[in-house]
Amino acid sequence: MRFRAPAHHTGVTSRVGLWLGIAFGLCFVTGLLSHGVQHDWPWPTRPVDLYRVTQGVHVISGVAAIPLLLAKLWSVYPKLFERPLVRSVPHALERGSIFVLVAASFFELATGLFNAAQNYPWSFYFPTAHYAVAWIVAGAMLVHIAVKIPLIRRSLEPASTEKTVLSRRAFLRTTALTTGVAVVATAGVTVPWLRKVSVLAWRSDGDLPVNRTAKAAGIEVPADWRLRTNSKTYSLDELRALPQTTVELPIACVEGWSQNATWTGVRVSELVGRGDVRVESLEEDGLYRASTLPEAFAQDPLTVLALRLNGEELSPDHGYPCRLIAPNRPGVLQTKWVTSLEVTA
């Protein structure tokens, strides 16, 4: 089989590879941060939008990596037909590492895209599998770069004297254009002014999205509901009678979507003493029925047990009778239908 198209030139491979490396790098670092914030790694309370930005970057760079990976693989496709299949032990190891890299990359992009759409055509647990395979992608990519450094350096040198350079450029431009289309078509999940344009976004251009409805969570608020804390309990009317604070904070979901809203309620620091706070929901089971609020967040003046959203009483789907809203936290940790706030340590 013969491949003569300029797309298969090493200069093209290196350039697309560089773009893909940047996309994967951003994806890995932001993914690691998101893993950390959900596993009690140190995480700041400011800037309030930090998680919104890092998780938006995670999802957007992942989407951008899809056309980039396909362009990269098309560029090196002829190598699949190289014979002999294996020339030496190092050559076998190199080919093996590339197989691992490609398999793990497809896995990450496919499962990530499906997860953003909350679509699970598999039975394994997405967060742990996606996290483990991310390390495999990162490792195999580093090995690949280490092997290819001399080739990359040579191939990135200008090759203006060669005749086919224009069509090489055309391939690179097509890759860039397709990547741009993919980003614009989805980035509206987090970028407000793109919401109408992003026709492939997994959210609509309306009110604050609901990730889990009260019905799905099986919530029934008892008539004698009271908020429990270490020292006392509060009825909803008693909470309403306490000093109210209004904050403007985003819900920033791990699935990449985010939106600002105005929340009114009681500062958590006025309800509990110092220490980490365990926040529990009326939800009886479910992965995110409770969360831990580190002391720095619990004492933050912007952290509120919200009773109202955008000027109206919380709807059942947004967490009636009250929900947690804190700066710079993933949406799944902004516990809804709160029933107790207890200092644990």
Site for another protein in 141-180 (CB under 8 A): 141-147, 149-150, 170, 174, 177-178
Cβ-based neighbour number of residue 157 at 10 Å: 9
Provide the CA 342 distance to its chain's centre, in angstroms.
Answer: 29
Subset of residues 200 to 239 that bind another protein, contact rule: CB under 8 A:
200-204, 206-213, 216
> CA 92 to CA 146: how far, in whole Å?
16
Residue with smaller CB distance to another protein, 52 or 203: 203
**320 interacts with another protein by CB under 8 A:** no
Could you give the 3-state DSSP secondary structure of residue 125? coil
Subset of residues 67 to 126 that bind another protein, contact rule: CB under 8 A:
67, 70, 73-74, 77, 80, 99-100, 102-107, 109-111, 113-114, 116-125
Residue with smaller CB distance to another protein, 30 or 269: 30
Min dist CB 203 to another protein, Å, is: 5
Min dist CB 207 to another protein, Å, is: 6
**128 interacts with another protein by CB under 8 A:** yes
Closest of 324, 260, 274 to residue 48, by C-alpha: 260
Min dist CB 231 to another protein, Å, is: 37
319: phi > 0 → left, psi -120 to 50 → alpha, else beta; which? Answer: left
Interface map 5-34 toward another protein (x if CB under 8 A): x-----------------------------
Interface map 274-313 toward another protein (x if CB under 8 A): ----------------------------------------
Backbone torsions φ then ψ of 216, nearest 5 degrees: -60, -35
Interface stretch with another protein, choices 130-138, 226-234, 265-273, 277-285 (CB under 8 A):
130-138
Closest of 112, 83, 86, 88 to residue 99, by C-alpha: 86
> CA 340 to CA 278: how far, in whole Å?
8
Q: How many residues does the chain have?
A: 345
Instruction: Tell me 87's DSSP state.
Output: -
CB 276 within 8 A of CB 287: no
**252 interacts with another protein by CB under 8 A:** no
